[in-house]
């Protein structure tokens, strides 16, 4: 195996702690006679078991089944970002020297697909790899896993396993890059940012995103229409504005963002969630994604700043006003209960100047300028009683397990909201959850 992996070029920089790299090291030690010594054989067995466990964990995370080894290799092929995969993502496969290099790498993977671990298993008294080639996953409805990744990997893995030569594998993989892109962005729609101990960061997929659509949000038709117009322009490459959804709590602002991901992901929309304590990373995150073919929403949920918090200055500089122009594939989308985002105090107006009835305050202007950078501002107000009742009935009618009459539902809902923060979409949903649970 080590002789195979050493021939890789585009995939030569796989991490040393990857399953493939570690198993290649295991095989190298095995070929050097490590299995003949009792102590070294026990250590070799422990190393094999650790990598098998990692394969099993990966299979559970992504819902792989069938040949788990081949699923893993396919996952490596399509999630590794390199010059060839990025070129295919942007323009598809084209003639060039790099094609021959890529095809040679794919021939290595084709041989790894059918690699015989039998001698290693026999020497160590194991049968783990034999079991992994006919892996039966935990029932799909019993675990949470990333369905997008699972579907892509399993289908492509089966096609590669049946490929007669490296050229066919080349065509299969490059077609995947052209259709879906490369890396985790090609198979996931939503991400959060994880800061590393050394100051770097990584994108972590969110695989349990609610399957909500904008049509599921009852009412707010003008808000949804305005939001859709701006997002359609964004994903189509036309001029667009950064977006601020503001207003009362529980009115569906964050739900609208989740719905956008589900509605426009097929058009290349991706969402990256940042919290305000990560704004120092904002410029670095944008630099990482600005050359990709996808359209990225940087999502800032429940955004507001109290007195003394200065993170909003990072945001101002990135949105508009810095030397570097904003990439056309990045939109800043924030939700907030405050229209002006930064809390104002009467003390902010202490530097007010009065000249011919013109009032100016540097402090106030500084704080208001952040909200002014969002060219698309959409207000979400708490519903009136009629809309709240419509929300309750609509949500109830979507469930088959609620048997109360409409009159009973409304009477109970009105009592419920008095004890739970007033009328809102969130209160309506919480009431329906309680009724369904009791039923």
Residue 151 is predicted with a pLDDT of: 79
Q: Which of the residue ranges 55-59, 100-104, 230-234 would you say has the lowest mean pLDDT?
A: 55-59
pLDDT at res. 148: 66
How far CA 11 is from CA of 6, 7, 148, 149, 212, in Å, comes to: 10, 9, 23, 20, 38
What value does the mean pLDDT of the chain take?
82
Q: Which of 28-42, 156-170, 365-379, 415-429 has the lowest mean pLDDT?
A: 365-379
- As a whole number, mean pLDDT of residues 300-326 equals 66
The rounded percent of the chain whose pLDDT value lies above 70 is 83
H/E segment holding residue 254: helix 253-264
Q: How confident is the model at residue 341 (pLDDT cuts 50, 70, 90)?
A: low
**pLDDT in the model for residue 357:** 42
pLDDT digits (tens, 9 = 90+) for 182-204: 888 887 888 999 887 777 788 88
Q: Residue 300's beta-bridge partner residues? A: 274, 334
| CATH 3.40.50.300 is right for the domain spanning 242-380 | yes
How many beta carbons lie within 10 A of that of residue 109, not counting itself? Answer: 22
- Give residue-wise pLDDT tens across range 225-255: 999 999 999 999 999 999 989 888 888 888 9
Distance between alpha carbon 42 and the CA centroid of its chain, in Å?
Answer: 40
List CB contacts of 351: < 8 A, sequence separation 6 or more.
Answer: 361, 362, 363
Contacts of 232 (CB under 8 A, 6+ apart): 264
pLDDT tens digits for range 385-435: 999 889 889 988 888 888 888 898 889 888 888 888 788 888 888 888 888
**What are the structural domain ranges in the chain?**
2-186, 242-380, 385-438
CA 95 to chain centre: 32
């Amino acid at each position: 195996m080590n002789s195979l992996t050493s021939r890789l070029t585009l995939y030569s920089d796989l991490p040393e702690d990857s399953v493939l790299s570690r198993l290649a090291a295991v095989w190298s030690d095995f070929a050097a006679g490590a299995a003949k010594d009792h102590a070294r054989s026990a250590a070799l067995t422990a190393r094999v078991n650790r990598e098998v466990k990692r394969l099993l964990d990966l299979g559970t995370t992504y819902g792989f089944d069938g040949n788990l080894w081949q699923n893993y290799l396919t996952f490596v092929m399509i999630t590794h970002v390199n010059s060839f995969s990025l070129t295919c993502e942007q323009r598809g496969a084209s003639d060039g020297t790099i094609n021959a290099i890529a095809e040679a790498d794919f021939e290595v993977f084709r041989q790894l697909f059918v690699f015989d671990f039998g001698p290693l298993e026999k020497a160590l008294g194991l049968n783990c790899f034999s079991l992994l080639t006919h892996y039966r996953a935990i029932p799909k409805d019993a675990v949470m896993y990333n369905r997008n990744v699972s579907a892509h990997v399993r289908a492509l893995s089966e096609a590669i396993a049946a490929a007669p030569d490296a050229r066919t594998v080349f065509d299969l993989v490059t077609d995947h890059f052209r259709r879906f892109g490369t890396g985790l962005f090609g198979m996931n729609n939503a991400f959060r940012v994880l800061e590393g101990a050394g100051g770097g960061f990584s994108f972590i997929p969110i695989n349990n995103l609610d399957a909500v659509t904008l049509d599921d949000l009852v009412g707010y038709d003008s808000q949804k229409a305005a939001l859709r117009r701006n997002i359609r322009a964004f994903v189509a490459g036309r001029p667009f504005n950064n977006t601020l959804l503001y207003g009362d709590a529980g009115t569906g602002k964050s739900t609208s963002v989740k719905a956008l991901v589900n509605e426009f992901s097929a058009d290349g929309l991706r969402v990256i969630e940042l919290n305000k304590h990560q704004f120092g990373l904002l410029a670095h995150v944008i630099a990482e994604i600005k050359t990709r073919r996808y359209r990225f929403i940087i999502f800032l949920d429940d955004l507001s700043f109290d007195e003394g918090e200065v993170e909003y200055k990072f945001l101002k500089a990135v949105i508009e006003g810095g030397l570097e122009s904003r990439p056309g594939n990045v939109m800043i989308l924030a939700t907030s209960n405050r229209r002006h985002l930064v809390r104002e105090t009467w003390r902010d107006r202490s530097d007010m100047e009065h000249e011919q009835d013109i009032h100016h305050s540097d402090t106030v202007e500084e704080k208001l300028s952040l909200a002014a950078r969002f060219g698309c501002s959409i207000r979400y107000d708490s519903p009136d009683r009629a809309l709240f009742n419509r929300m309750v009935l609509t949500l109830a009618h979507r469930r088959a397990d609620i048997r109360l009459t409409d009159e009973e539902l409304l009477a109970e809902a009105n009592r419920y909201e008095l004890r739970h923060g007033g009328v809102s979409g969130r209160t309506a949903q919480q009431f329906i959850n309680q009724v369904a649970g009791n039923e």
